[in-house]
């Protein structure tokens, strides 16, 4: 079972993403900050992180940069999720190391499939 870590500081979005991904068969853990993410990743590395970019303290872009710069975490698939496209562009997210970019409000019917597609594409790239 694929492990997903949802990092989101907005409680409603956090619960929604958790329910959607768990209902699709993923093992889901949640946190509300980049610091939560770093602690949780050390204990149990996820396959995928659904990462809100606007977080208290360290923002999602900085977290993505740190994770991609670390040999222990560089292969984790990071899906940027934001409702602030004017503050966090797709270009910035991809340059920071995110593997995909999804705008809020998320489409609950599409999210698990979008995540699966990103993971699949990354596996194909890694095999080359």
The domain at 3-127 falls in which architecture?
3-Layer(aba) Sandwich (3.40)
Write the pLDDT tens digit of every residue in 12-52.
999 999 999 999 999 999 999 999 999 999 999 999 999 99
What is the reported pLDDT for 128? Answer: 67
pTM above the 0.85 mark? yes
- Give the whole-angstrom CA distance, residue 120 versus residue 109: 18
């Amino acid at each position: 079972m694929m492990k997903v870590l949802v990092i989101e500081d907005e409680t409603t979005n956090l619960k929604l993403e958790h329910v959607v991904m768990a209902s699709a068969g993923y093992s889901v853990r949640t946190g509300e900050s980049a610091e939560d993410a770093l602690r949780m990743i050390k204990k149990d590395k996820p396959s995928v992180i659904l990462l809100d970019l606007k977080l208290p303290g360290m923002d999602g872009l900085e977290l993505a940069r740190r994770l991609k710069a670390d040999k222990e975490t560089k292969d984790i698939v990071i899906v940027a999720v934001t409702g602030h496209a004017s503050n966090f562009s797709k270009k910035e997210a991809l340059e920071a190391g995110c593997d995909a970019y999804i705008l809020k409000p998320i489409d609950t019917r599409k999210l698990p499939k979008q995540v699966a597609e990103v993971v699949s594409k990354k596996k194909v790239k890694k095999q080359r």
